[in-house]
Structure 1
Amino acid sequence: MKHEANILIIDDDQDILVAGKLLLKRQFSQVDVCNRPEQIPKLLSDTDYDVVLLDMNFGPGESSGEQGFYWLEQIIALKPDAIVIMITAHGGIDVAVEAMKLGATDFISKPWHNEKVIATVTTALELKRSRQQTQVLKATNQALIQASVEPGAAMVGQSPRMQQIYNLISKAAPTDANVLILGENGTGKELVARAIHQQSQRSEQVFLSVDLGSIAETLFESELFGHKKGSFTGAQQDRVGKIKAADGGTLFLDEIGNLPMHLQAKLLTVLEQRKVTPVGSNKAEAFDVRIVAATNYDKSVLTDEQHFRQDLLYRLNTVEIQLPALRDRSEDIVAIADHYLQQYARKYHKSDMVLSDSAQSALVAYKWPGNVRALRHAIERAVIMAESEQLVASDFQLESEQVNQQPISPPTQATDLVGELNLEALEKRAVEQALRKHKYNISHAAKELGLTRAALYRRMEKHGL
């Protein structure tokens, strides 16, 4: 079976050209020949050759190899990634080796052995393919890095509390100090982490986010440290862990407070040594990663050594950023609401939507237990359901939600469910109750509902919560 490849042979000996073409045509799809090297520029512009075989000398009596050097330089100048195999007489091997220093890939001695020629050209073709794959991988990697560091949702707000946050970010970002971000769910901890990365010296490298609350304990080491093929049941191939995948960039460890104590110890060891050992391997691998961690736990919980290792806390919070709840910066609510109003108006093709005075007052007065995330969901739902371009307070259903903030006991009698046996309604009610019970702690609510964090987020999106 022939290889799909374009081969070019350049030699002033017609016998060499005929023999080479007959030989290589058996193995490769296209073989062109040339006995006049001055035609090389046109040939290279007309066809993308995978491998070029170039004679060292042209014309009778030539043996210095100078002509070969000259045309090799021309080929490399025209096609920097060209794969060139030099053709030389036995006595010119030293000259061919010199040509390889100038960019040639290999050489063939005349008179040649057919098997040697085919093997040399095949190896050169594999090198060409490998280089192409490397270029594709590099381009793909750069695209992924770019996608990971591109700004996502904007940080909106000019209140004094937010000005303090911006100031902390600007001071911490240029350093390599680890940062711990504290704040309730929905306050924008990942946005702060991304802002830190984008203003750091690692901004051109990858930003990788890991939700520790969604990783099963049994998979923690595999996910973060990686594993070797066959190290455990289901390990079908080597896997790079998240820490090594973020090498050179920033690793955002979300929900760090949910990590069990025994896994906290393993993470601490890795961060102290700056080396990670994949599961099933005996070799530690160094890494260069900046750690930004976040949790919705109160500082009093983190400083309780029964819940969180204090040595790990010291390692993580070189710089600590406490994000305010949305209710504590109410002066930003209208600006944030307007930001999302414009965003969702474009998404749902409802231009010129505005917030009425009554809507603005209602939004500012509301407590927003889910913070910015809850406000965003409320705006999206209002845009979808609104009857006019001007949103009023009733479009947000805030009064019923405010009433529903009070603790609700789960139904104890079958009569509690009369008139509400619709599965969608029951699911929404269960999700609401779990969120309120756990004060919108997503991890705890998901655990009580028997869901993953991702599954709970999907249901919150589904029901507009």
Structure 2
Amino acid sequence: MNLKQATILVIDDDTDVLTAVRLLLKPLVKSIIVDKQPDAVLELIKKNEVDILILDMNFRASINTGNEGLYWLSTVKRSFPDLPIIMITAYADIDLAITSLKSGATDFIVKPWHNEKLLENIKNVLQGKGNKKEQRANFQHLLGESMPMQNIFRKLEKIAPTDANILILGENGTGKDLIASAIHEQSLRYKEAYIKADLGALTETLFESELFGYKKGAFTDAREDRLGRFQSANKGTLFLDEIGNISLSQQARLLTVLQNRQVTPLGSSTPISVDIRLICATNTPMSELANEQKFRKDLIYRINTVEINVPPLRERGDDILILANYFLQFYCSKYQKSEMVINDATKIKLLHYPFPGNVRELQYTIERAVIMAESPILTPEDMLFSPLEKNTILTQSNHNTSNLETLEKETIVKVIEKHNGNISRAAKELGLTRTALYRRLNKYDL
């Protein structure tokens, strides 16, 4: 579908925003409808056969959800599951963006926006409209073109439509939670709830009440009945993060629930059946999980019908630059900065840093660079890596540096970074001609 054929509905309680969008889109689309009241959204969609909904994340409304936009997003998705929705907000952060995308939003934009960016987003959404199945099969929220990521995409295509239990393994910061949500989005349960529980944050006393729920009066502060995560995820997907951190006694209770597919809330003697698709994740290596003194093997078999190993960022090659550019665009928009670019010397620095904190560290590095950079061209000096990871780097650096080729390659990289990518100056410091330096760059694939 092209722009001229589109009917677009915009819901925002800011009159200035509605006026700006109407003036921008009116000459370009078939119809532009604006309204300040989100409770009118369902009727407006039905009455006008809307092609795209642009929905604000924050309303001065009486709904106490913590974020009205997410409430209305889920409300619309229940009635119109295939309608593309672009979320807009003045309070952007990456967690909010991911939450809205997980909840069914098609895209996310920060206000005040650049008109060209908004039009580009709308056009991209229209090009994919009517082909939701193909969109979902592309795992569009996972970025990466490296062979390790392509292998993961192929595996996801096979396992996502099944109800198989999945165990996701990988270092901290590799994006295990994004893999889990992608599996849910491509599953047959994608219209149902996706519930996450961080088991690493649950104490022994909270474990059962959080996962299995409780009845009023079950303990001192139990003033009303509360559903646990298992019941909340009924018919949908339950993601148990950091499962490698739970104690043997917690493992035993979890195993009983998974075997019987029933939970018994605290303070009750009546078991309740649950129908869930289970996804678990941990940064604990499988070799350690298989140690019976730390983790029950019978539980491993329950949670690990299929295993996915998410590679560390340092093994993903040019994916580092793909992700860096994604975060660069996001944070330029968030902090209302003009367009920025990463120069060649900075790319070399990014590609040769081991990123012990993985994608999370890269995100942190780019955000800080966008905030602190004096120029729209990011140089190696702008890339200050996290001091939190220095000890990890030292541990990882116990490789044999007596190898002459390794020493030569590392020296070349350092000198090129020092001179911000200026080959002539780098060659002069190294005592080489430009031609000889280029030969070495080709030799080491730099």
Q: Which residue of structure 1 lines up, in the alignment, with residue 224 of structure 2?
A: 237
- Amino acid in the other structure paired with 2:347: Q
Quick check: 1:227 aligned with 2:181?
no
After superposition, the Cα gap between the structure-2 partners of 1:376 and 1:237, relative to the gap in structure 1 and judged at 3 Å, is same
Quick check: 1:387 aligned with 2:382?
no
- Post-superposition Cα deviations, 1:144-203, rounded to whole Å, max 9, x if no partner, equal 988553369931111000000001111110000000000000000010001100000000
Q: Which residue of structure 2 lines up, in the alignment, with residue 277 of structure 1?
A: 264
After superposition, the Cα gap between the structure-2 partners of 1:185 and 1:202, relative to the gap in structure 1 and judged at 3 Å, is same
From 323, 327, 330, give the equivalent of 1:343.
330
Q: Which residue of structure 2 lines up, in the alignment, with residue 149 of structure 1?
A: 103
- Amino acid in the other structure paired with 2:150: Q
2:73–2:103 CA contact under 8 A, matched in 1: no
1:149–1:198 CA contact under 8 A, matched in 2: no
2:213–2:226 CA contact under 8 A, matched in 1: yes
In structure 2, the gaps of 5 or more residues are 1-70, 82-99, 108-139, 396-446
- C-alpha distance in structure 2 between counterparts of 1:328 and 1:318, whole Å: 25
Quick check: 1:263 aligned with 2:250?
yes
After superposition, the Cα gap between the structure-2 partners of 1:377 and 1:320, relative to the gap in structure 1 and judged at 3 Å, is same
After superposition, where does 1:429-440 map in structure 2 within 5 Å?
none
- Amino acid in the other structure paired with 1:159: S
Q: Which residue of structure 2 lines up, in the alignment, with residue 159 of structure 1?
A: 146
- C-alpha distance in structure 2 between counterparts of 1:403 and 1:163, whole Å: 30
1:149–1:204 CA contact under 8 A, matched in 2: no
Q: Secondary structure at the match of 1:306?
A: coil
Quick check: 1:306 aligned with 2:260?
no
1:149–1:194 CA contact under 8 A, matched in 2: no
- C-alpha distance in structure 1 between counterparts of 2:192 and 2:323, whole Å: 29
Q: Secondary structure at the match of 1:227?
A: coil
2:264–2:270 CA contact under 8 A, matched in 1: yes
Q: Secondary structure at the match of 1:222?
A: helix
- Amino acid in the other structure paired with 1:150: G
After superposition, the Cα gap between the structure-2 partners of 1:218 and 1:402, relative to the gap in structure 1 and judged at 3 Å, is closer
- C-alpha distance in structure 2 between counterparts of 1:344 and 1:154, whole Å: 17
Q: Secondary structure at the match of 1:360?
A: helix
Q: Which residue of structure 2 lines up, in the alignment, with residue 292 of structure 1?
A: 279
After superposition, the Cα gap between the structure-2 partners of 1:388 and 1:251, relative to the gap in structure 1 and judged at 3 Å, is same
Q: Secondary structure at the match of 1:239?
A: coil
- C-alpha distance in structure 2 between counterparts of 1:399 and 1:263, whole Å: 34
Q: Which residue of structure 2 lines up, in the alignment, with residue 320 of structure 1?
A: 307
Q: Secondary structure at the match of 1:202?
A: coil
Q: Secondary structure at the match of 1:240?
A: coil
In structure 1, the gaps of 5 or more residues are 1-137, 409-465
- C-alpha distance in structure 1 between counterparts of 2:74 and 2:389, whole Å: 47
After superposition, the Cα gap between the structure-2 partners of 1:310 and 1:403, relative to the gap in structure 1 and judged at 3 Å, is closer
- Post-superposition Cα deviations, 1:1-45, rounded to whole Å, max 9, x if no partner, equal xxxxxxxxxxxxxxxxxxxxxxxxxxxxxxxxxxxxxxxxxxxxx
Q: Which has the larger radius of gyration?
A: 1
Q: Which residue of structure 2 lines up, in the alignment, with residue 198 of structure 1?
A: 185
Q: CA RMSD in A?
A: 2.3
- C-alpha distance in structure 2 between counterparts of 1:299 and 1:219, whole Å: 26
2:141–2:182 CA contact under 8 A, matched in 1: no
After superposition, where does 1:402-421 map in structure 2 within 5 Å?
405=392
- Post-superposition Cα deviations, 1:222-245, rounded to whole Å, max 9, x if no partner, equal 000000000111111111011000
Identity percentage of aligned residues: 49
Q: Structure 1 residue 405: deviation in Å? A: 4.7
1:366–1:402 CA contact under 8 A, matched in 2: no
Q: Structure 1 residue 338: deviation in Å? A: 0.5
- C-alpha distance in structure 2 between counterparts of 1:306 and 1:287, whole Å: 30
- C-alpha distance in structure 1 between counterparts of 2:217 and 2:76, whole Å: 31
The aligned length equals: 271
- C-alpha distance in structure 1 between counterparts of 2:325 and 2:341, whole Å: 8
Q: Structure 1 residue 142: deviation in Å? A: 4.1
Q: Secondary structure at the match of 2:195?
A: strand
Q: Structure 1 residue 217: deviation in Å? A: 1.1
- Amino acid in the other structure paired with 1:322: N
From 195, 198, 213, give the equivalent of 1:208.
195
Using the size of structure 2 for normalisation, the TM-score is 0.58
- C-alpha distance in structure 2 between counterparts of 1:353 and 1:344, whole Å: 10
- C-alpha distance in structure 2 between counterparts of 1:295 and 1:366, whole Å: 24
- Post-superposition Cα deviations, 1:313-354, rounded to whole Å, max 9, x if no partner, equal 000010100000001112211111011101101111112200
